[in-house]
Amino acid sequence: MGSSASQLGKDLLSEYQELTFLTKQEILLAHKRFTELLSKEDKDLANVRAPMDRILTLPELKSNPFRRRICLVFSTSENKDGSLTFEDFLDLLSAFSDSATLEIKSHYAFRIFDFDDDGTLDFGDLENLVNCLTGETEDTRLTPDEMKQLIHNILEESDIDKDGTVNLSEFQHVISRSPDFVSSFKIVL
C-alpha cells in the first residue's frame, strides 16, 4: 500500500481527492486495480491506457449490461475505443461512488443510455436500453408490439415537451422522483 501511495505522490493523491468523490483509500485501491489491468511494460500511468477488453474483466463491470457503454462514455480516447487512462478510471469510479451527487449520477446515466450520442434519448436509444436490461435472448426479447408499447409508455411519462425524445433535464426530472436510482447506480471496488 505504501508503494502505491508513493507512486502517486501526495500532491497528486490530494488533487485526485479534491477532483473526485473518492477517499484516499479508494484512490489507492483504484490505482492498484488499474495497474493490475496493465501489461508489465505499461506501468507509466501518465501515458498509458488500459484497453476496454481488460477493463471489462473487472468483476464490477463484467455482469453490467451497460459495461461497453460505460467504458465508451468515460474514455477520453480520440479513436473512441473505450480504453481508459487512470484519470478516466477515477472519473468512472467517482461518478458511480456512493458520495456522487444525484446530478452527477443522472448526467452520466443519461450519457450511457444515449447510445447514439446525440444528446437525447429517442426510440432507438430506448430500444437499446430495454434490450440491455432484458437481455437479447429469444426468451427475454420483447416482441415488436411490446417494445413499441413500452417505449410509448416511457415517453408518455418522461417526455415533458412532447417532442418524441427525452432530453437531459427531462431525464433528471424523472430520476429525481426515483429514490432507488442513487443506490442502484454504483460500482464499488
Task: Determine what percent of the chain falls in helix, strand and coil, rounding each to the nearest 5.
Answer: 60, 0, 40
Domain ranges of the chain: 2-95, 102-184
pLDDT for the residue 7: 72
Query: How much is the average pLDDT of 137-166?
Result: 94
What average pLDDT score do residues 21-50 get?
87
Q: Is 92 helix (H, G, I), strand (E, B) or coil?
A: helix
Nearest to 28 by CA among 47, 44, 45, 13: 13
Q: How far apart are the first and last CA of the chain?
A: 15
With a cut of 80, say whether residue 130 has pLDDT above it: yes
Q: What is the CATH number of domain 2-95?
A: 1.10.238.10
Question: Are domains 2-95 and 102-184 of this chain identical in fold?
Answer: yes
Residue 6 confidence (pLDDT) above 90: no
The pLDDT score that the predictor gives to residue 12 is 94
pLDDT at 73: 98
Amino acid identity for residue 110 in this structure? F
Report pLDDT for 42.
67
Tens of pLDDT, residues 59-74: 999 999 999 999 999 9
Q: What's the pLDDT score for residue 141?
A: 86
49 φ/ψ sector (left φ>0, alpha ψ -120 to 50, else beta):
beta
Q: Which long-range contacts (CB under 8 A, 24 or more apart) does 49-52 make?
A: 49/77, 49/83, 49/84, 49/85, 49/88, 50/83, 50/84, 50/85, 50/89, 51/81, 51/82, 51/83, 52/81, 52/82, 52/83, 52/84
Indicate the CATH number of 102-184 among 3.90.1300.10, 3.90.550.10, 1.10.238.10, 3.40.50.2020.
1.10.238.10
